A and B are shown apart, each in its own frame.
Chain A
Amino acid sequence: MTILDGKKKEVDRLPAFNSVGTYTVDGMKAFDSSWPAAHRDPAKMAKLGSALHRLARLEAAVVPFDLTVEAEVLGAPVEFFEDKIKWPTVKRFIAEKPSDLKFPKELSSAGRIPVITEAIKILKKEFDGKMPVIAYLCCPFESISSYLVDSIEFLKKCKSEPETIHEFMKTATPYFAEIANTFKDAGADIITFREEAVSLNNIHPRYFDELVKPYLEDLIDRVRPPRILHACGQLWSPALEMVSRLVECGAEALAIEESTPMDKAREIADRVKSTYPLAGNVNAYRIIHQGPPEKIAERVKEVIVQGSDMPMPGCDFWLETPTKHVKAFVDGVREHGCLGRGG
């Protein structure tokens, strides 16, 4: 939290946490909080969100566990795969045009919002002052393009009907801010904004500038700090970059994954805003899931040296990550986390 206040110099050690998913199959088994039940039961959600803290001393609890929460509120039917540990997904795409989206008046009782706010309250009661309770939000561009509108059709519309995309974004942004603030009101210390559809793998930065950035700035601005923006995919290439644009969106930190080199991101972020906090980018699958533990600690050290202020997995912990690998990650940060830039 101190780092997000811009006072990194005051911390003794960098935190060992993840600002996105902290659920693993080990965690589900250890605390009788398996999917799909943990998506819909606040007590189980709180248990699973804090499982890696209990099992491996991870220094944050995070809810919810998937990215369909917002789409479900807006009318998408969600498949939870009963009796299976599988990512929930939408059963079908419900929107072709902005007016197909439904915005329930009573947000606090819509979809899984009451489950999440209740889970946040349980976690806040137990961990207040000890470690942050984080809630993440799937941002409008990603939520709409991945869970509400057929993704390929949506991408095509970015080219052929930009006015429709504007309309989608304009309609949805204030409502998504309200969802984030509902989590804040319930006690979430940090909101992670997941906008993971805007990498150079998907769109040219000019689409980001026109169709995403103004709305993302507005969304973040409407929510009380501290806030972390999480982006996936490649955000840098020799010719193009998204890092500066994301830094400009106004969150207190930017979390990236391993497709973007940390040293490049550091260089660019410093140009926009000197010592801007960056988080990431230990590969959640190839390093933390696959191990071995020595390699995890080594990589943690490397990302710190390259300029990461909050060494964390690039994405959600992989579901089947062995607990000893999460421990190795936490221990790695504890060991190397005093190394920060400039000592």
Chain B
Amino acid sequence: MREEVISKLVNTVTSYDVEGAIKAAEDALTAGVDPVDAIEEGLAKGIRIVGDKFGAREVFLPELMVAVEAMRQAMAILEPAMTEKTKTKKKSLGKVMIGTVQGDIHDIGKSIVSAMLTVAGFDVIDLGSDVPAEKFVEKAKEFQPDVIGMSALMTTSMLKMGPIIEALRREGLRKVVIVGGAPTSKDWAEKIGADGYGGDAMEAVEITKRLVGPAE
């Protein structure tokens, strides 16, 4: 029964079946499967398969987004069932807080990075778009993320990244900061004191993994 439920969790994610994943998560709880195992061996395994296919250009954004949606919806059912004890068992590469510095409601690039980080095994807190410096600082204090990611779509908003990093440092939040977005570059990231730069979603995930270090 356990194996059957777990493989159903894997398969619903890899077949982009949101309803199926919700049902599988409910079945897992009914069958008494440890929610952490259901996430680790089921959903996370499924999403890694989809992530690899995305990296290999076998599947594209529509599939990736539906798979992440399936995983998130199923997680929403499994997570409340986790006890304090089992929570610590759950593996995570780290906590990442991510936001678009100042732009418009178009945060598709950031949303893709957010999805890819989830796929890679990070816990992602997404602040959305048009995020002012104060909010980055305030939320960083609240969530204590390991990594803060910032995206900018315009040169004018890109100029705000430096002051945000300074504000974070001033508050003693010496978190690892990565930047990305159309006008940014590796040189720019270094100049404003960021710890890393991601040219695209895959690169952002790689650099985040590298910066968070051997904690995995």
Q: A89-B106, A204-B59, A239-B57 are in contact. Are A285 and B16 (CB under 8 A)?
A: no
- Report yes or no: A200 in contact with B63, Cβ–Cβ below 8 A: no
Size of the chain B interface, CB-CB below 8 angstroms: 22
Q: A86-B156, A202-B60, A240-B57 are in contact. Are A152 and B105 (CB under 8 A)?
A: no
User: Which chain B residues lie closer than 8 Å to A152 at the CB level?
Assistant: 65, 108, 111
- Report yes or no: B108 in contact with A156, Cβ–Cβ below 8 A: no
User: Which chain A residues lie closer than 8 Å to B16 at the CB level?
Assistant: 159-160
- Report yes or no: A319 in contact with B66, Cβ–Cβ below 8 A: no
From residue 133 to 164 of chain B, which have CB atoms closer than 8 A to chain A? 154-156
For B88-131 the 0/1 string (1 means CB < 8 A from A) is 00000000000000001110100100000000000000000000
- Report yes or no: B62 in contact with A158, Cβ–Cβ below 8 A: yes
- Report yes or no: B104 in contact with A200, Cβ–Cβ below 8 A: no
B34 at the interface (CB under 8 A from A): no
- Report yes or no: A318 in contact with B105, Cβ–Cβ below 8 A: no
- Report yes or no: A92 in contact with B105, Cβ–Cβ below 8 A: yes
Docked pose: A92 CA to B59 CA in angstroms: 29
User: Which chain B residues lie closer than 8 Å to A320 at the CB level?
Assistant: 155-156
User: Which chain A residues lie closer than 8 Å to B105 at the CB level?
Assistant: 89-93
For A86-115 the 0/1 string (1 means CB < 8 A from B) is 110111110000000000000000000000
Name the one of A86, A200, A201, A285 contacting B182, with C-beta atoms under 8 angstroms.
A285
- Report yes or no: A318 in contact with B65, Cβ–Cβ below 8 A: no
- Report yes or no: B154 in contact with A159, Cβ–Cβ below 8 A: no
- Report yes or no: A151 in contact with B183, Cβ–Cβ below 8 A: no
From residue 52 to 96 of chain B, which have CB atoms closer than 8 A to chain A? 57, 59-63, 65-66, 69
Shortest distance between the CB of B86 and any CB in chain A (Å): 31
Q: A86-B156, A160-B16, A200-B57 are in contact. Are A155 and B62 (CB under 8 A)?
A: yes
User: Which chain B residues lie closer than 8 Å to A79 at the CB level?
Assistant: 104
User: Which chain B residues lie closer than 8 Å to A146 at the CB level?
Assistant: 106
User: Which chain B residues lie closer than 8 Å to A237 at the CB level?
Assistant: 57
User: Which chain B residues lie closer than 8 Å to A87 at the CB level?
Assistant: 104, 154
Q: A86-B156, A156-B65 are in contact. Are A203 and B104 (CB under 8 A)?
A: no
Shortest distance between the CB of B189 and any CB in chain A (Å): 15
Q: A87-B154, A156-B66, A159-B16 are in contact. Are A207 and B60 (CB under 8 A)?
A: yes
From residue 23 to 77 of chain B, which have CB atoms closer than 8 A to chain A? 57, 59-63, 65-66, 69
Specify the chain A residue showing the minimal Cβ separation from B115. Answer: A152
- Report yes or no: A155 in contact with B155, Cβ–Cβ below 8 A: no
Shortest distance between the CB of A29 and any CB in chain B (Å): 15
- Report yes or no: A207 in contact with B62, Cβ–Cβ below 8 A: yes
User: Which chain A residues lie closer than 8 Å to B66 at the CB level?
Assistant: 156, 159-160
User: Which chain B residues lie closer than 8 Å to A160 at the CB level?
Assistant: 16, 18, 66
Using A79-B104, A160-B16 as known contacts, list a sample of 12 further A-B pairs with CB atoms less than 8 Å apart, ordered by residue number in A.
A85-B156, A91-B105, A152-B65, A155-B61, A159-B62, A200-B57, A202-B60, A202-B61, A203-B60, A207-B62, A285-B182, A319-B154
Residues of A within 8 A of B (CB): 79, 85-87, 89-93, 146, 151-152, 155-160, 200-204, 207, 237, 239-240, 285-286, 318-320
Residues of B within 8 A of A (CB): 16, 18, 57, 59-63, 65-66, 69, 104-106, 108, 111, 154-156, 182-183, 185
